[in-house]
Amino acid sequence: MNKKWTYIVGLLLLTPFGVSAQQANVNLDYNPQEDTEGLTPFSAQVNSPEVHDDQTVTFRIKAPDAKKVELPAGAIHTALDKGREPIPFTKGEDGIWTLTIGPLKPDMYAYHLLVDGVQIADPSNTYAAFTAMPPYSQLVVHGEGPAYYDAQNVPHGNVTRHVYHSEVTKGERELYVYTPPGYTPDKQYPVLYLIGGSGELPSNWVYDGRVNFIMDNLLAEGKAQPMLIAIPNNQVIHRNHPQHAELTFDIFEKELRNHVIPLIDQSYSTIREPEGRAISGLSMGGRHSMFIGFRSLDVFANFGILSAGDTDAETSLKQFLNDPDVNNKVDYLFVGQGTKEAQSFFNHRCQALHDALKNHEIEHDYYIGGNGGHDWSTWRHLLYYRFLPNLWK
């Protein structure tokens, strides 16, 4: 083989492995939407979103017959302080609509597109999420290296999906369980029962919340205790049912007591006393954690209320608040929300819960932090920077 062909073959062999392709899904990259090779995602018409090194982002969609394309309000708007008005795209002569925004702080942002008023996921983005709501896309804005929620070169735990039959909901259901690196049945582990929001499925704590990577990284950094994390499905009644608020807490408590906790205790080596169990959740999952957890001190002694509370906490939580022995029954109680969330109407619920706990001299950890609003940026931040490091310390 002559030198020319040796050079070409060598280049062909090196090129696919020498750099990371944009949305190629080869590795669990921290910068999957940086265009490093000038290639579009497989089966996509255009490259969207494209994240630039200055943290600006370009969205594209090929829709030659569309009259209007917009980025509707969501987590990106919150991060940019853009209010609630949709941001318009510009149409090119080739029928491709484009929008460049930013810079954005390195983080993960859920978003939709509006095409002539129809809400859709970005059809060229391979990072999509499915929930108990219509699907959306994920924007991953990278920094100079992996973030606390990224897969890093550290020991990793496992995530197992369990499918079981429920006599409570009369059907087959699922839950996910994270076991830490080095899990052994010869040791008993505490269990965190982690719950999603109104529109979340248990898998969203893995794919949007990155809880398994967050826990891996905390353990590698020596900042948290090894624990199991059980992620049940708290969708137990149609979210638009007219009596959802009245029925959901009783139904989900039965699901926890009759099926979820017994399955975990039978399948894993666990601490089976209240001090070995925690319940936490975001938004509606935080309300499940609060209204079920606070009346289940025979089961749980640790609580994480994320972006949730109650404006009438003094009345609705009367028994818990007035229990004279509550500080001896509760090991750790965390109430947290995002910085921008605390500047919105969502603040009323968290603040009311914090005030009620303070008025009744119930020991708790109240925290406001991160750069997010009522979104995954906040919930990832609360887990990593406050709740998980303080659990079982």
DSSP 328-386: HH-SEEEEEEETTGGGSTTHHHHHHHHHHHHHTT---EEEEESS-SSSHHHHHHHIIII
Q: Would you give the DSSP letter of residue 123? A: T
Instruction: Let me know whether 324 and 199 are in one domain.
Output: yes
Q: ω into residue 49 within 30 of 0, thus cis? A: yes
Instruction: Let me know whether 106 and 178 are in one domain.
Output: no
The burial of 62, by beta-carbon neighbours within 10 Å (0-12 exposed, 13-18 middle, 19 or more buried), is given as middle
Measured between alpha carbons, how far is 122 from 48 in angstroms, rounded to an integer? 8
The answer to whether position 1 is within a domain reads no
Structure-block tokens of residue 102: 């930013």
Instruction: Let me know whether 254 and 282 are in one domain.
Output: yes
Per the structure, the count of domains in the chain is: 2
The answer to whether position 153 is within a domain reads no
Q: What local confidence, expressed as pLDDT, does residue 5 receive?
A: 46
Q: CATH no. for residue 281? A: 3.40.50.1820
Q: Would you give the DSSP letter of residue 370? A: S
User: What are 332's strand-pairing partners?
Assistant: 302
pLDDT in tens, 65-105: 999 999 999 999 999 999 999 999 999 999 999 999 999 99
Give the domain range for residue 66. Answer: 16-141
The answer to whether position 149 is within a domain reads no
pLDDT in tens, 109-134: 999 999 999 999 999 999 988 888 88
Instruction: List, as own/partner pairs, every contact residues 347-353 make where C-beta atoms lie below 8 angstroms and the sequence separation is at least 24, other chains included.
Output: 348/309, 348/311, 349/308, 349/309, 349/310, 349/311, 350/305, 350/307, 350/308, 350/309, 351/309, 352/309, 352/310, 352/311, 352/312, 352/313, 353/290, 353/305, 353/308, 353/309, 353/310, 353/313, 353/317
The burial of 11, by beta-carbon neighbours within 10 Å (0-12 exposed, 13-18 middle, 19 or more buried), is given as exposed
Q: What local confidence, expressed as pLDDT, does residue 130 receive?
A: 82
Instruction: Let me know whether 182 and 214 are in one domain.
Output: yes
Instruction: Let me know whether 80 and 168 are in one domain.
Output: no
Instruction: Let me know whether 227 and 357 are in one domain.
Output: yes
Instruction: Let me know whether 239 and 194 are in one domain.
Output: yes
Q: CATH no. for residue 85? A: 2.60.40.10
Q: What local confidence, expressed as pLDDT, does residue 25 receive?
A: 87
Instruction: Let me know whether 169 and 115 are in one domain.
Output: no
The answer to whether position 247 is within a domain reads yes
The segments of the chain whose pLDDT lies below 50 read 3-19
Average pLDDT, rounded, for the chain: 93
Instruction: Let me know whether 163 and 294 are in one domain.
Output: yes
Q: What local confidence, expressed as pLDDT, does residue 23 receive?
A: 87
The answer to whether position 269 is within a domain reads yes
The answer to whether position 334 is within a domain reads yes
Between 244-255 and 284-293, two packed helices, what is the crossing angle to 10 degrees? 60
Instruction: Let me know whether 128 and 204 are in one domain.
Output: no
> Do strands 69-71 and 87-88 pair parallel, antiparallel, or not at all (unpaired)?
antiparallel
Q: What local confidence, expressed as pLDDT, does residue 8 receive?
A: 39
Instruction: Let me know whether 137 and 165 are in one domain.
Output: no
Instruction: Let me know whether 218 and 111 are in one domain.
Output: no
Q: Work out the widest C-alpha separation in the chain, in whole angstroms.
A: 87
Q: Which of 96, 111, 141 is the last residue of a domain?
A: 141
Q: ω into residue 103 within 30 of 0, thus cis? A: yes
Q: Which of 141, 166, 194 is the last residue of a domain?
A: 141
User: What are 120's strand-pairing partners?
Assistant: 113
Q: Which of 73, 106, 141 is the last residue of a domain?
A: 141
The answer to whether position 9 is within a domain reads no
The answer to whether position 177 is within a domain reads yes
